[in-house]
Amino acid sequence: MNWSCGGRLVKGTMAAATQVQTVNIIVNGIELEVPKGELVVEAVKRLGLEIPIFCYHPRMKPVGMCRMCLVETGMKNPQDGTIRMMPKPAAGCTLPCSEGLVINTDSEALRKDRKGVLEFLLVNHPLDCPICDRGGECPLQNNTLFYGPSTSRFIEMKRHAPKAFPLSDYVTLDLERCIQCARCVRFTEEISGDSQLAFRFRGARTQPITFSETKFSSKFSGNVIEICPVGALTNRKYRFRARPWDLQTSPAICTQCSNGCNIWFDHRGGKMVRINGRTHEGINEEWTCDKGKFGHDFYNNERRMDTPFLRKGDELQKATWADAFGEIIQKFVGKGNEAGLLIGHQISNESAKSAIDFFRNQVGSQNIDHRFEDRAYSSIPKVESSIESLEAAQSILVFGTSLADDLPIIYLRVRKAWFNNGTKVVVAFNQETDVDSFASHILRYKHGTASTLASALAGKTPLEQAAKICDIPLSELQEAKNVLANPVVITSSNLNNAEFDGVAESLQSFSTAFNCYPRGANERGLQLLGAVPKASNKETGLSTYAMLSAAAQGEITSLWLLDVDLFEVGISREVVQQILENVETLVVQSSQRNETFFYSSIALPLSLPAESEGTFTNCEGRIQKFAAAIPAVGESKPAWRVFEDLSVRISPRMPAIHPKDVFKTIDQFSTVDYQEIGDAGIMVR
C-alpha cells in the first residue's frame, strides 16, 4: 500500500475482500445467516437480542464459568427440516454457530436457570449497593433486576472477608463482592500479558490476587476495574467521590502520550472526577494505560494558573490580559531572531499554528522548535503503519524503545498480534523491556551501538562484525535476521540521538513499513505543521538546545515557553537556572504555576484540552477533534485565542473566533474538513 506524505489524506489500494464463510441458524424461530464459528452470544445481537453474561468478554477467550448465558440448543435436520432440541441448556458464550443450529434465548426453563444462577451468586454477596462505587452501573444489579429473584430465601450469616483491600495504589479489592468470573485474571494473562493476577486458594477462600501477595503493579491495572462485572475491583482515586447519576460524561482524548486514546471524561461541578476507556477500534479498542486512566489529576491541581501575571520588580503580580498583551508586544514584536519559541507536545494543532504564524510573521523569528531530545532529527520521521494494521504484520521489529512505557497502546496491539495471529516479534534495545516476555528473539545491544546493529539487520554490515561490536551472540543475530523478512519496524522519538539518522536510514531500507512513532500527545501534529526552525533571509533559526544555549549567553533576549516546564525536560537544574536568569524577557504560558513560572516576566494562564475545543494528531497521523467538557479555570484561554488577540492588535483584521477558523488555514491539513472529523478521526500522513 502506498501512503501519501506531507499532511495529506492517506490513500492506497484496497485489498481484496476476504470471503467469510457463513452458516444458517435459527434464533427464537427467526432464520439468520451468520459467520461460521461466531459465538452464539454475539450472533443473537444481530436481531437486537441480548443474552445476560458475567464472565464473557468479547476481547478475551470464552471460558463459560458463570453459566449466566445458558440457552436452549438444537439442530435442524437438513433432510426433513425437523428440529431436535438438546436435553440440557448450553453456555452461549462458548457455543460456536454451525449450520442448522437452533437457539432459544428465552423460555420458562431458562428463566428458572438464570434465576437460580443469580440466587447462588447473591447468597454471600453483601448488601453494599448503597455504598458500592459500582452502584448504578453494575451488571450484577442489572441482571438481578431483569432475571433474578424478587426476594432472597437465604437467611443464614453471609461469608465475610476483609473490606477494601488495596491491591495497588489504584485498585481496591472487596473480596466479599467477587463472583469469580476471572475477567481480571484473564485480562492480565491475555491482554496486558503481565499475568500478575491469579486465583489463589480453594473453595470459599478462592480469590484473585497477585502470586506473592505483592502490589499489583501492572501498567494497565485500571482496566480490570472497568471490566469487573461487580464492585469487587474499584478505583481508589474515585472511591466514594460520586455516584454515576451525579456525573456528567463527555467524550475526550487522552493527552498523556501520543497514542490518542479515546476516553470518557467524567466530571462534576466543573471538576474532573474519573477517566474511563471509550471504544475506538482503530486506536485503543476500549483499553487505557494507567498513565491515561489515573494521570489527569492536573485538571484539579491547586496550583492551576487562573490569571495573567506581570513581574513588577522582584515580584509577580496579577494583571489583566490587556496589560499582558501590551507588555508582550513591546518585548517581542520586531525582535527577529533575538526571540525564541518552544512548544510543548500537549498543544493543539490550532494553537501551534497560531503560535508559529505569530512568531514568523509578527515577531520575525525563525527560532521555533518542539524537540527536546539530545539531538533534533534532521527530517520528519516516517510513520507508515496505522495502529490497527500492526495486528496483520507477519513480523515486527521493536527497535530502541521500551514500548509499554513510550507507546502503551501500541504495545497492546503488538502483543495482540503475537497472541492471536502468531506474529514474530524481535526486540532490539539496550535494556530489558516488557516486549521481552513474548519476543521470539531479543537483541540486547551495547549502549552506543544501535547504528551498527541496524546496519547489520539491513545487510550493510557483516553479521559477525556487528555481533562482536554490539556484544550479541552471532547465532541469535542470524536467527533474528531470518525472522525479519520484510518486517514492520517500530521505534520512537527517544532514538533521536546522534545515531538517529543512520539508524533510521538502515531500518527503512529493509522494512515493509518504518514507523518512528512520536511520544508527545500532539508531537505528530507539530512535526507535520513544521514547528521547527527554518531559514529566513538573514539566517537559519535555532533548534531547542541551540536556542537555550543562546539564551544562557544573553543572545536570545525574549523567550516564550508555550506549555513547557524547562525543569521537566531533562536538562540539569544548574543549566536551566542559568538560562532563566539570563534571558531578559520570559513568557511562561502554562496551565500550572510550575517551577518555571516563578522565573517568568509574563505568565499567561492556559486552558487544558478538556476545557477548550480543538484537534490533536496522534502518533499514527490520525486527526481527532475534542470539545470542551468543563469550563476553563479563571481567565485561562486556549493558546490559539491568545495569539489571535495579539496578532489582531498588531495588524487589525477579522480575527478567528473558533478553532475551525484556524484549522482552515493549516495548509498541511487542507484536504481535511474540520466539520467532517467524526468520532473515528481522519488519517493523514
Q: Assign residue 98 the CATH number of its domain.
A: 3.10.20.740
Residue from 159, 164, 50, 174 nearest 114 by CA? 50
**pTM more than 0.75:** yes
Q: Do 94 and 134 fall into the same domain?
A: no
pLDDT exceeds cutoff 70 at 16 = no
Q: Do 317 and 214 fall into the same domain?
A: no
Residue 249: the pLDDT is 96
Residue that is written with C-alpha cell 544548574 in the block: 574
How far apart CA 681 and CA 685 sit, in angstroms, is 13
Q: Do 357 and 318 fall into the same domain?
A: yes
Q: Assign residue 636 the CATH number of its domain.
A: 3.40.50.740
- Domain membership flag for residue 536: yes
pLDDT in tens, 109-144: 999 999 999 999 999 999 999 999 999 999 999 999
pLDDT exceeds cutoff 90 at 648 = yes
Residue 497: the pLDDT is 58
Residue 159: the pLDDT is 87
pLDDT in tens, 552-590: 999 999 999 999 999 998 888 999 999 999 999 999 999
Q: What is the mean pLDDT of the chain?
A: 92
Spatial CB neighbours of 589, under 8 Å, sequence gap ≥ 6:
560, 561, 562, 563, 603, 604, 606, 639, 642
pLDDT exceeds cutoff 50 at 597 = yes
Element of type H or E holding 444: strand 441-444
User: What sign for the dihedral angle of Cα 676, 677, 682, 685?
Assistant: positive
3-state secondary structure of 604: strand
Strands (E), 156-196: 165-166, 171-173
Q: C-alpha angle with apex 637: 634 to 642, nearest 5 degrees? A: 140
How far apart CA 156 and CA 202 sit, in angstroms, is 22
Strands (E), 189-291: 197-200, 207-210, 233-235, 248-253, 262-268, 271-277
- Domain membership flag for residue 659: yes
- Domain membership flag for residue 24: no
Other C-beta atoms closer than 10 Å to the C-beta of 459 total 12
- Three cell numbers written together for 90: 448450553
How far apart CA 619 and CA 611 sit, in angstroms, is 22
Q: Do 191 and 335 fall into the same domain?
A: no
Q: Do 546 and 597 fall into the same domain?
A: yes
Residue 354: the pLDDT is 97
Q: Do 612 and 567 fall into the same domain?
A: yes
3-state secondary structure of 108: helix
Confidence of residue 204 (pLDDT cuts 50, 70, 90): confident
- Three cell numbers written together for 106: 428465552
Residue 291: the pLDDT is 96
Domain span at residue 222? 119-235
How far apart CA 596 and CA 256 sit, in angstroms, is 20
Q: Do 160 and 209 fall into the same domain?
A: yes
Other C-beta atoms closer than 10 Å to the C-beta of 75 total 16
- In terms of Cβ atoms closer than 10 Å to its own Cβ (0-12, 13-18, 19+), residue 492 is buried
Q: Do 576 and 676 fall into the same domain?
A: yes
Q: Assign residue 154 the CATH number of its domain.
A: 3.30.70.20
Confidence of residue 503 (pLDDT cuts 50, 70, 90): confident
Our CA dihedral for 137, 138, 142, 144, rounded to 10 degrees, sits at -160
- Domain membership flag for residue 94: yes
Decide which of 178, 205, 235 is a domain's last residue.
235
- Three cell numbers written together for 343: 512548544
Residue that is written with C-alpha cell 490569571 in the block: 307
Strands (E), 254-382: 262-268, 271-277, 309-312, 315-318, 339-343, 368-369
Q: Do 543 and 507 fall into the same domain?
A: no
Residue 8: the pLDDT is 46
Decide which of 517, 549, 573 is a domain's last residue.
517
DSSP 365-398: ---EE---SSS--SSPPPB---TGGGGG-SEEEE
Decide which of 235, 256, 290 is a domain's last residue.
235
Measured CA to CA in angstroms, residue 446 lies from 275, 426, 450, 516, 662 at distances of: 40, 17, 8, 21, 47
- Domain membership flag for residue 631: yes
| Rama region for 242: left / alpha / beta (φ>0; ψ in -120 to 50; rest) | beta
Q: Do 433 and 357 fall into the same domain?
A: no
CB 563, CB 343: distance < 8 Å? yes
Confidence of residue 75 (pLDDT cuts 50, 70, 90): very high
- Domain membership flag for residue 589: yes
Residue 151: the pLDDT is 87
Residue 433: the pLDDT is 95
Confidence of residue 378 (pLDDT cuts 50, 70, 90): low
- Domain membership flag for residue 5: no
Residue from 15, 216, 240 nearest 132 by CA? 240
pLDDT exceeds cutoff 80 at 527 = yes
Backbone angles phi, psi at 674, to 5 degrees: -55, -40
DSSP 447-489: TT-HHHHHHHHTTSS-HHHHHHHHT--HHHHHHHHHH-SS-EE
pLDDT in tens, 467-489: 999 999 999 999 999 999 889 99
Of residues 534 and 186, the one with the higher pLDDT is 186
pLDDT exceeds cutoff 80 at 12 = no
Q: Do 529 and 513 fall into the same domain?
A: no
pLDDT in tens, 272-312: 999 999 999 999 999 999 999 999 999 999 999 999 999 99
Mean pLDDT of 436-461: 94
* CA 337 to the chain's CA centroid: 37
- Domain membership flag for residue 26: no
| Rama region for 182: left / alpha / beta (φ>0; ψ in -120 to 50; rest) | left
pLDDT exceeds cutoff 60 at 496 = no
Confidence of residue 152 (pLDDT cuts 50, 70, 90): confident
Mean pLDDT of 499-513: 85
- In terms of Cβ atoms closer than 10 Å to its own Cβ (0-12, 13-18, 19+), residue 50 is exposed
pLDDT in tens, 409-441: 999 999 999 999 999 999 999 999 999 999 999
Confidence of residue 3 (pLDDT cuts 50, 70, 90): very low
Q: Do 487 and 444 fall into the same domain?
A: yes
The total number of structural domains that make up the chain: 4
CA atoms within 13 A on the CB side of 102: 12
Measured CA to CA in angstroms, residue 501 lies from 4, 380, 547, 621 at distances of: 21, 11, 22, 21
